Amino acid sequence: MAGKIGILTAGNDVPGLNSVIRAIGKSAQSVYKMEIVGFLDGFKGLIQNNHISLKGSEFSGILTTGGTILGTSQELPNQSFENTESLDKAISSYKHHKLDALVCLGGAEMQVGTLALSQRGLNVIGIPKSIDNDVFGSDYAIGFDTALSVATEAIDRLHSTAHSHHRIIVVEILGKQTGWLTLGAGTAGGADVILIPEIPYNLNKISQAILERNKAGKRFSIIAVSDGALTQESVEFFKRNREFNIRLRNGEERKEIEDRLDAIENDYADNTNLLSHFLHQKTGLETRITILGFLLRGGVPSSVDRMRAAQLGTTCVRMIHQGQFGILLGINNYQIEPVPLIDVAGKHKTIPLDHEWLQAARDVGTCFGD
């Protein structure tokens, strides 16, 4: 089957995006003789019809390259539900190129844009990418394994300086909505305390755990904290205010207050300095912070991310050939399966509180502050 497909990478960049683009391009052109159009800077490029033609040479030498050769952005075609102009422009670009399908590589929020296009009748397929590994409907997202390795290595390196100076070292790891990356890296790196969004923490319990380590002769501690982790007091505060808002307000006023609470909660969660200051005051130990931040998004993708990229890219092309659309390609139990976009778009896969990773970390003595 000859035809034409479009590709875009939306949202934050992650290691392995170019590996997926390569897998799609090579299999589409060599097996099915398809043409490939790449839209630059995510959905923004689709909306503005900013594109390039991708031929064989463009897929050479990018397997191990970080970032994305197509560029990316946070823009969505349906950002304003009252204004469909961007969505209409995106559809117009699709039709202008006479595409048979569009492949969207994106995280949970970006798949909302993929779903919007699907609901307007376009043939679309989503591929999950996220260093947080939080895309609902898939055990695995492109970029996670590489970020996990980088975060673990950072914790490994920080052990020596923490031990030498008898310090508490707080390592902040990306993870606003979920703690998969922090939990995985913290467990693999032997962090003494792991703080994640799924488990609100008590500051006194953390300081108590550190003081008990000191009494046992362990004069340093490593704390791995997601930038979305919150104290128990903060969680209760926002819960009470949301309940109060629901009881006393309605309509636009309620939504406005809810949006403001979301913004405040998001800002407050990212407060590793407050955690560090409290622990210094409570324990008397020197406390230092290392924020890994966007370091986790860059660099050469791991072998696992490259293998998953090859799986997802080639399977995606087969799905297009078979006429299966409106789906996200999830990896579950090591197998790729199509999941309806309507079931996954915008949803974050949080860590179940009975998950084996959590149990394993608790069994080796890790403190979660609860």
One domain, residues 322 and 288: no
Looking at the domain assignment, is residue 368 inside a domain? Answer: no
One domain, residues 165 and 276: yes
Question: How far is 7 from 22, CA to CA, in rounded Å?
Answer: 11
Report whether 173 contacts 151 (CB < 8 A): yes
Q: Where are the beta strands (DSSP E) in 78-234?
A: 101-106, 124-128, 168-173, 193-195, 221-226
Question: How far is 222 from 201, CA to CA, in rounded Å?
Answer: 16
Nearest-CA neighbor of 77 among 99, 104, 54, 37? 104
**What is the pLDDT at residue 167?**
85
Question: How far is 164 from 187, CA to CA, in rounded Å?
Answer: 21
One domain, residues 158 and 279: yes
Report whether 125 contacts 153 (CB < 8 A): no
One domain, residues 191 and 130: no
Indicate if the pLDDT at residue 100 is higher than 70: yes
Looking at the domain assignment, is residue 369 inside a domain? Answer: no
- DSSP 8-state symbol, 74: S
Looking at the domain assignment, is residue 213 inside a domain? Answer: yes
Nearest-CA neighbor of 107 among 60, 186, 174? 174
One domain, residues 310 and 197: no
Catalytic residue IDs: 132
Indicate if the pLDDT at residue 37 is higher than 50: yes
Q: At 209, phi and psi to the nearest 5? A: -65, -40
**What is the pLDDT at residue 309?**
96
One domain, residues 57 and 175: no
One domain, residues 62 and 189: no
Looking at the domain assignment, is residue 64 inside a domain? Answer: yes
One domain, residues 197 and 262: yes
- The separation between the first and the last C-alpha atoms of the chain, rounded to the nearest angstrom, is 57
One domain, residues 110 and 234: no
Spatial CB neighbours of 318, under 8 Å, sequence gap ≥ 6: 27
Instruction: Write down the mean pLDDT value for the chain.
Output: 89
Q: How confident is the model at residue 152 (pLDDT cuts 50, 70, 90)?
A: very high
Q: Which domain holds residue 60?
A: 4-143+301-344
**What is the pLDDT at residue 261?**
54
| Domain of residue 196, CATH code | 3.40.50.460
Nearest-CA neighbor of 325 among 87, 94, 102, 111? 102
Q: How confident is the model at residue 81 (pLDDT cuts 50, 70, 90)?
A: very low
- DSSP 8-state symbol, 8: E
One domain, residues 134 and 210: no
One domain, residues 285 and 333: no
Looking at the domain assignment, is residue 184 inside a domain? Answer: yes
Looking at the domain assignment, is residue 370 inside a domain? Answer: no
Q: How confident is the model at residue 145 (pLDDT cuts 50, 70, 90)?
A: very high
Question: How far is 263 from 241, CA to CA, in rounded Å?
Answer: 13
One domain, residues 154 and 285: yes
Average pLDDT over residues 48-73: 91
Nearest-CA neighbor of 355 among 222, 180, 216? 180
The tally of domains found in the chain comes to 2
Question: How far is 268 from 225, CA to CA, in rounded Å?
Answer: 14
* Per-residue pLDDT tens digits for 311-367: 999 999 999 999 999 999 999 998 999 999 999 999 999 999 999 999 999 999 999
Report whether 28 contacts 34 (CB < 8 A): yes
| 319 token code pair | 């799905």
Looking at the domain assignment, is residue 269 inside a domain? Answer: yes
Other Cβ atoms closer than 10 A to 233: 12
Average pLDDT over residues 12-34: 95
Percent with pLDDT over 70 in the chain:
89
Looking at the domain assignment, is residue 116 inside a domain? Answer: yes
Question: How far is 159 from 29, CA to CA, in rounded Å?
Answer: 48
| Domain of residue 99, CATH code | 3.40.50.450
Report whether 158 contacts 122 (CB < 8 A): no
